[in-house]
Amino acid sequence: MKSLNDLKIQLYADGADKAGILDLYAKPYIKGLTTNPSLMKKAGIRDYEAFAKEILQTVTAKPISFEVFTDDFTDMKRQALKITAFAKNVYTKIPITNSRGESSLPLIKELAKQGVKLNITAILTLRQVAGVAEALDPKVPSLVSVFAGRIADTGADPVPLMRACGALLQGHDRRSSTGPARARSSTSSRPRRAAAPSSRSLTTSSPRRPSSSAWISPSSRSTRSRCSPRTRPTAASPSDRPTSSFTCRADSCKFEGSPSKLCPLGFAC
C-alpha cells in the first residue's frame, strides 16, 4: 500500500494553532505551511507580527505563507513588504481581488518585480489565473491558489479547470506551482495538497473538502493535459477560457474542429 511519501504531489498544512503548525512542520511529508488572518482571529491571536515571528523561530526550512489583511492596495503593499521581510522562506498571500471586487493584479505585478515571493489566493476562474501568470515575475517563485472546492460547491466540476490552469501556468514557464488547498473548518492545522513552490503552483480551497480527484499533481500536468498553449491568453479575454491558438498533444481529439463542444481542459482549439 502506498504511503504519504509516495505521493507525486506535495502536502501543505493550513492553520493558526501554534502546536498544530509545529507538529506538522516536523512531519517529513508536509512540504510547506500557510495561514491567514481569519484563522488567527479564531485562534485568539492578537499580535499578528509577534505570532508570525514566533512561528518562524522554528519554521525555517519549509515555505510558509502569511496573508495581508487590508482592502486598501497602498496599505496592502506596505504590509506585503513587511511580511516578506520576516524571513527568506516566507510567501506573502495576496487575494486576487479585495472585498470590493477590485483587481489586485497591478499590485501583484509591482510586488513580483520587487522580488516578493507571493501566494495569490481566492482564485476562481481561468481568466484570473491567466492574469496572474502575466503579472508574476519568471525569476521569483510563487504560488497560485485556486479555490476548486468552492467551485465544486456551485455544482461545477473543478477538475477540468484545475487541469487547464496547470497547463496554462506550465506554458508560461515561470517558477510558480499549482495545486489545490484544503478548507479551514477549525483553528487547528490541517494538511492541504499543493505542488512545489519552486515550480509554479496552483492551489485550491473550499468550505468543504473537494473530491480527491480535484488534486492536481506535476505528473498530471505534464502527461494528462491534452492541450498546451502556443500563445499566451490574456486577462482581458471576455471569456474565462483561453481564446489564443492551441496545439493539441493528442493524436486525435474528438473536440477538435467542433467549436460547439468544449475541450475537457476548457481550451478552445
What does the pLDDT look like over 28-50, one tens digit per residue?
999 999 999 999 999 999 999 99
d(CA 106, CA 93): 15
Report yes or no on 76 lying in a domain.
yes
In a domain, 253, yes or no: no
Residue that wins the pLDDT comparison between 81 and 188: 81
Give the domain range for residue 85: 4-248
In this predicted structure, the answer to whether residue 14 has a pLDDT above a threshold of 70 is yes
Residue 251 in grid coordinates: 493524436
Question: From CA 191, how far away is CA 10, in angstroms rounded?
Answer: 10
Domain assignment present for 232: yes
Give pLDDT, residue 143.
Answer: 92
**Domain harbouring 40, CATH code:** 3.20.20.70
For residue 252, pLDDT over 60 is answered with no
The verdict on residue 263 lying in a domain is no
Q: Which residues are catalytic?
A: 93
Confidence band of 6 (pLDDT split at 50, 70, 90)? confident
Q: What is the model's pLDDT at position 206?
A: 37
With cut-offs at 50, 70 and 90, classify the pLDDT of residue 172: confident
pLDDT level of residue 237 (50, 70, 90 thresholds): very low
Using the predicted structure, report yes or no on whether residue 233 has a pLDDT greater than 70.
no
Q: Is residue 244 part of a domain?
A: yes
Q: Average pLDDT for residues 99-103, to the nearest whole number?
A: 94
pLDDT of residue 44: 94
Number of domains in the chain: 1
Residue 121 within a domain:
yes
- Give the range with max mean pLDDT: 10-14, 140-144, 226-230: 140-144
**Among 146-160, 166-180, 183-197, 216-230, where is mean pLDDT lowest?**
216-230
For 140, counting Cβ atoms within 10 Å of its Cβ (0-12 exposed, 13-18 middle, 19+ buried), the class is middle
Q: What is the mean pLDDT of residues 218-231?
A: 30
Query: Per-residue pLDDT averaged across 231-242, rounded?
Result: 35
Residue 211 banded pLDDT, cuts 50, 70, 90? very low
User: How many Å apart are CA 107 and CA 94, to the nearest integer?
Assistant: 9
| Nearest to 112, CA basis, from 78, 140, 131, 86 | 140
pLDDT band of 246, cuts 50, 70, 90: very low
Q: What is the pLDDT of residue 256?
A: 40
Residue 117 lies in a domain: yes
Is residue 264 a part of any domain in this protein?
Answer: no
Rounded CA-CA distance 144/55 in Å is: 23
What is the pLDDT, as a whole number, of residue 4? 77
Q: How many of the other CB atoms lie within 10 Å of CB of 125?
A: 17
